Amino acid sequence: MRQLVTFESETATELENCKEILHLGLDKEPKIIQVIASENHPVRWNTPLGLPVVQPYRKLGRHLIKTSLQVLSLQRETDKVMVKRQRTAFPPNFVHSLDGSHMMMTAVACQKAGLNFAGVHDSYWTHACDVDEMNRILREKFVELYGMPILENVKYLPSRMLYNLRSLL
């Protein structure tokens, strides 16, 4: 039990560090997100499951419609991307795309195992008698997902984050 508490504490600390590092990394050296957005392209990537993600942040334009009674002002998206919003939104959106991949992998595996599954954001549910089985599946899918070269491709992560995921099983 002490090992589990220690692991949870270390994981929470490292996740906070990871979040800070992602933000710092994108704000400093490569500025790749800013370069992409400055070329008027939305930031896009594929999740580990192959789902394409495109950040939708575009500048708003105003369109005036004059009638005999009034002038209506409508907002609509322009073709110009919001550079700052593209840059600042990437870290949380990327992490959410990984969370969604993990949930989908878990849901599919639960269905194959004959378990009922429900989930919202990062909360997973099943019938009480199936909790242990879902817990096993959840961990297996976590290891499978993060065993892919996802974290290694984010060069700002500290090497201590790249620990042996098999220890979670």
Which residues are CB-neighbours of 109 under 8 A, at least 6 positions away?
A: 137, 140, 141
Q: What angle do CA 159, 13, 103 make, to 5 degrees?
A: 85
| Catalytic pick among 27, 99, 122, 130 | 122
Q: Which residues are CB-contacts of 121 (< 8 A; sequence separation ≥ 6)?
A: 99
The DSSP code for 26 is H
For the question of residue 122 being annotated catalytic, the response is yes
Q: What is the spatial distance between Cα 76 and Cα 58, in angstroms, rounded to a whole number?
A: 9
**Using an 8 Å Cβ cutoff, are 169 and 155 in contact?**
no
What are the catalytic residues? 122
